[in-house]
């Protein structure tokens, strides 16, 4: 299999420009970047097909290595359809953004900035939980029923305590 250097350079340029445009704030540029990336991917899929050969039709007397692999062609067609759908969706989003705000740029969210500047350690979320605080009461009741079948087991008292907590929790929700 020979590699076409020109095709590789074009793919690299398309991927580079596509990623650059994808990181912009303008939705139109994001759409153009996505189009460039999908076109580069289509070229990559075509390049993986290998050298050009006969159509993938079975003709008697032709050796199997003379045929072209149909899978990259099918994947390329699928990729084209998916990229068309995503482009149509982005065009709809851009149109809606333009009609509502007369701009297609994504604005910074004040809440996102606040969250980004927070310390990564949060005492409530990162502390060790000493007992099961699951909201799934069925799990505690199932564990309790299993433990009642084996009253001599080690976790019998824990299962009874969990079942009692689940019952109290349910009573608090019903009230």
pLDDT in tens, 94-129: 999 888 888 888 777 788 788 778 777 666 666 666
Determine if the pTM surpasses 0.75: no
Residues 79 and 157 in one domain: no
Q: How many domains does the chain have?
A: 2
Residues 103 and 140 in one domain: no
Q: Residue 142: what pLDDT? A: 57
117-123 long-range contacts, Cβ below 8 Å, gap at least 24? none
Coil, helix or strand at residue 58: coil
Q: How far apart are CA 100 and CA 97, in angstroms?
A: 5
Q: Tens digits of per-residue pLDDT, 73-92?
A: 889 999 999 999 999 999 99
95 is in which domain, residue-wise? 5-54+69-107
The answer, yes or no, to whether residue 139 has pLDDT greater than 60, is no
26 φ, ψ (degrees, to nearest 5): -80, 130
Residues 87 and 144 in one domain: no
Decide if 114 is inside a domain: no
In this prediction, residue 21 has a pLDDT band, given cuts at 50, 70 and 90, of very high
């Amino acid at each position: 299999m020979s590699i076409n250097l020109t095709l590789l350079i074009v793919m690299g340029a398309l991927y580079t420009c596509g990623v650059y445009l994808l990181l912009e704030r303008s939705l139109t540029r994001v759409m153009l970047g996505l189009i460039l990336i999908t076109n580069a991917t289509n070229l990559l899929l075509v390049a993986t097909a290998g050298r050009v050969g006969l159509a993938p039709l079975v003709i008697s007397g032709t050796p199997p290595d003379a045929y072209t692999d149909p899978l990259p062609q099918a994947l390329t067609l699928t990729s084209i359809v998916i990229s068309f759908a995503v482009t149509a969706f982005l065009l709809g989003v851009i149109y809606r953004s333009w009609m509502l705000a007369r701009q297609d740029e994504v604005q910074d969210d004040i809440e996102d900035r606040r969250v980004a500047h927070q310390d990564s350690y949060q005492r409530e979320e990162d502390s060790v939980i000493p007992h099961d605080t699951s909201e799934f009461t069925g799990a505690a009741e199932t564990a309790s029923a299993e433990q009642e079948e084996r009253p001599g087991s080690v976790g019998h008292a824990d299962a009874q305590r969990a079942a009692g907590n689940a019952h109290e929790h349910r009573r608090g929700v019903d009230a």
